[in-house]
Amino acid sequence: MGDPIYRDELAWAAAWSNGSPHPFIITNSVRYTRSAVIEYLGAHWARQDETERQGWKRAYRQGCRIVRVRVRIQHATEGASHDR
C-alpha cells in the first residue's frame, strides 16, 4: 500500500472570534463559496419567520466570522486499498 498524499487547499471557515481561550472553527468547506457558508450558518441562526441573512447578522453580532483557511486533505495513492 502506498503512502497517503497530502494536498493543501483553501477553504472558507466559520470561526468564532470570541472563543475562549482562542478562536475556534465550527465549520469549513473547500467546496462551497463564502456566500454559501454564510447562508448555511444563517439558516441555523435564523429564528422562525426570519431569513438566512437575518440569522447571519445575529451570528455576526455574537462573534462569528467567515475566514479563509488552509486545510490539508489526505488522498489515497494509486493502488492503495480502500477495503478496511
| 3-state helix, strand and coil shares in percent for the chain, rounded to the nearest 5 | 25, 35, 40
Which position has the grid cell 466570522? 65
Range of the domain at 62: 5-75
81 in a structural domain: no
Look at residue 43 in the predicted model and tell me its pLDDT.
93
70 in a structural domain: yes
Per-residue pLDDT of the chain (84 residues; tens, 9 = 90+): 566 788 888 888 888 877 665 666 767 777 888 998 899 889 999 999 999 999 999 999 988 888 888 888 887 665 555 444
Look at residue 83 in the predicted model and tell me its pLDDT.
47
Look at residue 72 in the predicted model and tell me its pLDDT.
83
Chain center to CA of 18: 17
Residue pLDDT, tens place only, 5-16: 888 888 888 888
Whether 68 contacts 8, CB under 8 Å: no
Q: How many domains does the chain have?
A: 1
How far is 82 from 68, CA to CA, in rounded Å?
A: 31
50 in a structural domain: yes
Look at residue 20 in the predicted model and tell me its pLDDT.
62
47 in a structural domain: yes
